[in-house]
Amino acid sequence: MDEAIHGGEVSRTFAIITTAANELMQPIHNRMPVVIEPEDWSRWFGEIEGDPKALLHPPADGVLKCWPISARINLPRNNDTKLLDPVKAE
């Protein structure tokens, strides 16, 4: 997250960097967020030498899990932990 001051007001912003979908995500969408794994955080934040652009790739197999969830997720008024409960695939 980045903070900037504009006319005395603090503005907090962030960006989601995307990359090509890995094998797990391809059936869902053709792109996905970049996942910076813990062992790469120091390079990403410039604490150690290395090109952070080299980290802009799909995560390795096994980093993420995927399961079907309820279509209730599509309504903003639904905001409870049951949204992540697995459901039978349609």
| pLDDT per position as a tens digit, 11-39 | 888 899 999 999 999 999 999 999 999 99
pLDDT greater than 60 at residue 58: yes
pLDDT greater than 80 at residue 61: yes
- How many whole angstroms separate alpha carbon 56 and alpha carbon 33? 9
Number of helical (H) and strand (E) elements in the chain, helices listed first: 1, 4
Instruction: Tell me if 34 sits within 8 A of 23, measured CB to CB.
Output: no
Domain boundaries defined on the chain: 18-84
